[in-house]
Structure 1
C-alpha cells in the first residue's frame, strides 16, 4: 500500500511538472508585446543569455575608482549626460552600465561605519580592511603613530604585480599622493603625510617616510611605469617655483622630480598638456604632474590639462608594451571634492568625464585578456527627490505637471540635494526661494539639511561593474576587500 501511494504521488508530481513545463513553453499572449519597453527588455534578455563567463587568467587588470561616486551619483550623471545630448535623460546609459557583471561593495572601515578614502582604497588594493586615515597597512596600525607601521604593512597588488614583472601605473585627477592613488604604492600611518612638511618630527625621527618619497622609491627604486596626476608641490622643495609659478612644499630640500629624472634617464617627465601630447609611448617610464595640487575640475579644465580619458588612453598605450601584462589604477578624484563642496554640477561633470575614461579603456582593450573593474571607494549624502516630471532638468528645480513643487513653506526646491553640507541654513524661514536660473549655474551649491562647512561621506554600499576574465566573480553584496581577491584570482599575484 505504501509503495502504491509513492507511485501515485510520483505520477501526479510528474504530470504537474509536465503541465508546468508545457505551459511555460507555450506561454500566453501578452497584448503589450509590441510596446517599445517590452521589446527592449526582450532584447536585453537575449543579450544576457548570450553573455558567457570568461573563466581564465587575465593578462591585464584596470581598476577604476570614482572617488565618492554613490549609486545616486551614477543615476544623476546618467540623466545629466543624457540631457546634454538632447534626450529626456533617464533612458541614457553610461559606458560603465554596459558592463555585464554587477555587485555591491560594503565600504565600512574597521573602525568606522561611514568610511574615508584611505581605508576603503587600502581594502581594494591589499585584500584586508583597515582603519580610517591609514594607507595600505593592516588594522594593527594606529593612525599617526609611526612605530605601529613596521611589520603591519599590507603588500599591495601593485607591488606584487611589479615583482612579478608586470608593468604598473596609477592615474588620478587628484594629487597623486592623495589617499586613493597613494594606497597603490605607499604604506603610511597617516594619509596626510604626503610630503615631509606634513609629518611630525617624531615620525620622521622614527624612520617613517612621506608618501611622495615612497612613490619615487617604489619597487626598490625601479618606480611605477606610468604616473599621471596632480600634486607637484609634494615633490618640490619650498625653494623651487614650478613652471606654473607655484612653490613646492618640501622642507627637506629634496627635489624629487629631479631625483626621478636622474633615476630614469630614459623616462619622460611632463607637467602640462603640451608635454603630455608629445609623450613618446615607447619611453621607458612616464611621470606627469599637471598641477601644484589637484587637477582642475572637468567643468573648468578648458583643455589646459589632459582629460582623465586622455590620461587613461595614454597610460594603456605605454603599459601595453609589456607582453607579460599590466595593472593600472584610474581614479576620478574630484567627484568627491565637488560633493564635499555641495556642488552637484561639477560632481556630475566629473562623473561623466570618468565614464569617458571607462569608455576609452573598454574600446582599447580586449575583454578576453583584460579585466576591467569600475567602482567607488565610498558614497556621499547625495539624493534625488521631489516627484519631478520625466525629463525635468536634473540640476533644475523640481516640477510636477510643469508646475514647481513647493515645500511646506511655499518655497521651490531642487531635485538634487544633500543630507548635510554648506548649502544648509539656520531655519526654514532663512531658506531662499531659488529661481531656475540660479540653481542651474555651475557654482550653485545644492541645499542641504544639516549645516556643515564640508559635506560628508555616507556609509551606503557602492556599485561594482566588471568585464573580462573572472569578472563573473562579482556577485551579490561583497566586502570591499574582495575586489583585491578578484584581481588576484585573475592575475595570480599572491599565494
Structure 2
C-alpha cells in the first residue's frame, strides 16, 4: 500500500462527500420552492377594510370577541401588500390589474392581456402570454372560476387577448379555443346566438347566431346550468366541465342562499374544480374569483359586500385544506384593486365607546371649498381606489409575497417561478 497517496485520496473523498451534500441541499431547496399546482384566488375589489369588516361581522360586532376572530385567509403563512396601478392610471380597472397578474406586464385600462401599445377600443397591442397558457402548453390542467360572467375582465385576462374588455362575444370565442378544462361562472348570454334563448330562457347577446354551447359540447365538455346538475357531476370521470349558472353574473351570496334552486357556492365550485384538475399527475393551475365583492362595493351595499367576502373566504379554506395535504401547492390570495373607498368609522362620531361602527363607501364623493371641507356624493356608484391591497400565500414559494410592498406584475413571476417555467 502506498501510504503517501492516502492523504490525497482522503481529501478527494471528503471533497466528493461535501459536493454531494451541497447538491442534495440544492435539490431540497429546489423542491421546497417548486410547486406542482398553483391556485390563485382573487377577491375583486377586496381591500384591507373589506377584510376588517368581514372579521367584525364574523364576531357579531362584539369588540371582546373580535380580538380572537380570524378569517381563513388570516392563517396563511405569508402576508404582504400589492400596488395596483395600470400602465396609464393610478386607479386601475379589473382588466389591466388581472392582466398584470396573468402576464407580468402592465397594460392600459380596459385592455385584456395585450401590451401597453393597446388602447381600449381603438388599437390592438401585442398579445401577452398568460400563466394559464404556459400551464396548458406544459401539459398541466387549468381551471377558471368566477361569480361574475366568465367573459368578464378578471377571468378573461387569463385566456383572452382583446383591446376592449367589453368585447365579450370575442372573449367567449377565445375561451372555446383556450383548452381550459374546468370553466365555472355566469355569462350564458355570450354563448348563445342573438335570436336564440339560453338554457335559462333569456336571449343571447352575441351579435351573431353562433351557438358556443353546442361547440363546447362537441369538444367533450359536460355542460351544467344549475346547482342540482352541478352536484351530480362525477369528478372521477369528468374530463372537461363547463358550468354557466346565470345569463349574466351569478347571484350575490345573500341572494343565492335565499333561492329555491341554489347556484353552487364559490367554495363548492372550487372543491369540484380541484377534484377534477388534481387528477392530472403533472399538476394544475386554477384561478378563483370572488367577483361580486366588487359589485357590492360599487352599489354601496354593506351586507352584500360582507357576505360575498365571507363566501370568498370559504373558497380560500377549500384551497388551503387541499394544499395542506402535501407541500406541493402554492396558494395565493389577493385582490385586483379596492372598490368603494370603504371607511369603518365609529357609529357615534362624538363618543367612540358609545357604539360600534357605521361603515360607508366613501369613493365617488367630491370635496367642496370652504372654511372646512364638505363632501358631496357625486356618483351614484362608488368607484375603484388606488390604495394597496392585501396578498397572502402558503406553500412552495409563498415567502416571495412578503417582501414589503410588491407590484401586481410580481405575482405572475412568483407563479411562474413556482412552476419552474
Aligned residues: 381
| 1:87–1:54 Cα change, 3 Å | farther
Distance of 1:476 and 1:402 partners within structure 2: 33
Question: SS in structure 1 opposite 2:362?
Answer: strand
1:102 aligned onto 2:30: no
Q: Where does the alignment leave 5 or more consecutive residues of structure 1 unmatched?
A: 1-51, 196-209, 389-396, 406-413, 427-447
Q: 1:368 aligns with which of 321, 327, 334?
A: 327
Alignment match, 2:177: 217
Alignment match, 1:134: 111
Question: SS in structure 2 opposite 1:114?
Answer: coil
1:383 aligned onto 2:360: no
Greater mean alpha carbon deviation, residues 297-306 or residues 238-247:
238-247
Q: Where does the alignment leave 5 or more consecutive residues of structure 2 unmatched?
A: 1-28, 369-374
TM-score, normalised relative to structure 1: 0.73
Q: Residue 298 of structure 2 contacts residue 340 of structure 2 at CA under 8 Å; is this kept in 1?
A: no
Alignment match, 1:416: 359
Q: 2:233 aligns with which of 279, 301, 325?
A: 279
1:158 aligned onto 2:132: yes
Distance of 2:44 and 2:161 partners within structure 1: 20
Larger Cα-atom Rg: 1
1:118-160: per-residue Cα shift (whole Å, max 9, x none)? 00000001011111110011111121135x33xx100000001
Task: State the 1:491 CA deviation.
Answer: 0.2
Q: 1:174 aligns with which of 135, 143, 148?
A: 148
Q: Residue 53 of structure 1 contacts residue 472 of structure 1 at CA under 8 Å; is this kept in 2?
A: no
Distance of 2:420 and 2:331 partners within structure 1: 16
Q: RMSD over aligned Cα, in angstroms? A: 2.4
Task: State the 1:89 CA deviation.
Answer: 3.0
1:122 aligned onto 2:130: no
Distance of 2:64 and 2:266 partners within structure 1: 25
Q: Residue 106 of structure 2 contacts residue 116 of structure 2 at CA under 8 Å; is this kept in 1?
A: yes
1:372-430: per-residue Cα shift (whole Å, max 9, x none)? 00000001243334445xxxxxxxx778476469xxxxxxxx621122349x999xxxx
Task: State the 1:242 CA deviation.
Answer: 2.2
Question: SS in structure 2 opposite 1:72?
Answer: helix
Q: Residue 323 of structure 2 contacts residue 331 of structure 2 at CA under 8 Å; is this kept in 1?
A: no
| 1:362–1:245 Cα change, 3 Å | same
Alignment match, 1:326: 284
Distance of 1:86 and 1:229 partners within structure 2: 37
Q: Residue 193 of structure 2 contacts residue 210 of structure 2 at CA under 8 Å; is this kept in 1?
A: yes
Question: SS in structure 2 opposite 1:112?
Answer: coil
Matches within 5 A, 1:252-271: 252-264=208-220, 267-271=221-225
Q: Residue 54 of structure 1 contacts residue 368 of structure 1 at CA under 8 Å; is this kept in 2?
A: no
Distance of 1:323 and 1:236 partners within structure 2: 35
1:487 aligned onto 2:415: yes
Alignment match, 1:464: 391
Q: 1:357 aligns with which of 285, 305, 315?
A: 315
Alignment match, 2:246: 291
1:28-60: per-residue Cα shift (whole Å, max 9, x none)? xxxxxxxxxxxxxxxxxxxxxxxx998331000
Q: Residue 398 of structure 1 contacts residue 415 of structure 1 at CA under 8 Å; is this kept in 2?
A: no
Distance of 1:242 and 1:464 partners within structure 2: 38
Distance of 2:83 and 2:355 partners within structure 1: 37
TM-score, normalised relative to structure 2: 0.86
Question: SS in structure 2 opposite 1:301?
Answer: helix
Q: Which segments of structure 1 move beyond 6 Å, counting only runs of 4 or more?
A: 84-87
Alignment match, 1:316: 274
Task: State the 1:239 CA deviation.
Answer: 2.1
1:244-293: per-residue Cα shift (whole Å, max 9, x none)? 221111221001001111122xx310000011001111211000000000
Greater mean alpha carbon deviation, residues 173-182 or residues 242-251:
242-251
Q: 1:229 aligns with which of 185, 192, 203?
A: 185
1:410-463: per-residue Cα shift (whole Å, max 9, x none)? xxxx621122349x999xxxxxxxxxxxxxxxxxxxxx8532021100001001
Question: SS in structure 2 opposite 1:372?
Answer: strand
Distance of 2:303 and 2:30 partners within structure 1: 37
Alignment match, 2:66: 89
Distance of 1:174 and 1:398 partners within structure 2: 37
